[in-house]
Amino acid sequence: MLSLRSLTVVAGALSCVNAGLINWPPKPVNYWFAFGDSYTTIGFEPNGTLPSVGNPLGNPAFPGDTGGGGENFVGFDTLTYNKSLILTYDYAVGGAVIDPTLVAPLTLSLPDEVDQFVDGAAKKPENARWTSENALFSVWIGINDIGNTFFLGGDRDAFADLLLDRYFAQVQRLVRNSYHLGSAGARQFLFINVPPTYRAPLIMGFFPDQLDVGKIVIEHFNAKLSNKIREFERKNRGVKTWTWDSYTLFNRILDSPRKYGFNDNVTSHGEQGDFWGNSYHPSSPAHRIFAKEISKELAWTRWFWGSWF
């Protein structure tokens, strides 16, 4: 039986809760370093305003300069579909390719993005004291490499092997070069495969007779990517990987657009209710779905713990 003194203490504690006087400990800070192309970019500049507790995406002004316009999956997963505090450094650049010596880039390429990380946040400055446990590294790239070459003929499987060797040489740099004061580097990786861009209005318009070729090239690339991810995890002690299958989800949505809240005309773009924000990039509502699915994939991790229960 509770004494009068115990009841008084309990009542006092409840009063503090009701009055908002308890200073709960702040959420621990987690980090996300994203690499890729226009499907991932928000237009982040590493020399601009950096992510902070009050501004977790840093620059530019939210929602940023995204491929399809409006908020993309990086924004949704940083700000909405998680119950943690994530500071996100989005190094992705529109038009990026895996290796500029293999496919001509429109802007920067994956090695440039990794250079920006190595020259900055990899050094773990005062405003980015990340660790191997609290930092997630994501890579979604290959879209432009395939989109700009699938129609060229030749041995596309051999070319995919070459692309993926260069791809994982850069991923390996994140593991190897991310050491500071004896701390381990990148260890937690999210990989995203290439979506069915042969179903994008731009590709359908320019290459109507080669869509089957595009489908085969992407599917073969994705199968090889899966093998490389397994090999990468096996060869790097302590590395943990997750893979989000964008290819399958895109096809599910495009096969049944109304089920996901989109218009039936899946070649339409830029209008309310369209899956495509423009002729080559998904719309912001589509990215919202991607973000939900990614957060489910990582639901039991520190970045998205408790997001779906």
Q: Going residue by residue through the chain (309 aa), what tens digit of pLDDT does each one get?
A: 444 444 344 444 444 444 444 554 567 899 999 999 999 999 999 999 999 999 999 999 999 999 999 999 999 999 999 889 999 999 999 999 999 999 998 899 999 999 999 999 999 999 999 999 999 999 999 999 999 999 998 999 999 999 999 999 999 999 975 544 444 589 999 999 999 999 999 999 999 999 999 999 999 999 999 999 999 999 999 999 999 999 999 999 999 999 999 999 999 999 999 999 999 999 999 999 999 999 999 998 999 875 544
Q: What is the pTM of this model?
A: 0.90
Handedness of CA 177, 181, 186, 187 (dihedral sign): positive
User: Which domains can be identified in the chain, with CATH numbers?
Assistant: 24-297 (3.40.50.1110)
Who contacts 15 (Cβ-Cβ below 8 Å, separation ≥6)? Answer: none
123 CB-near residues (< 8 Å, 6+ apart): 180
Q: Measured between alpha carbons, how far is 81 from 90 in angstroms, rounded to an integer?
A: 17
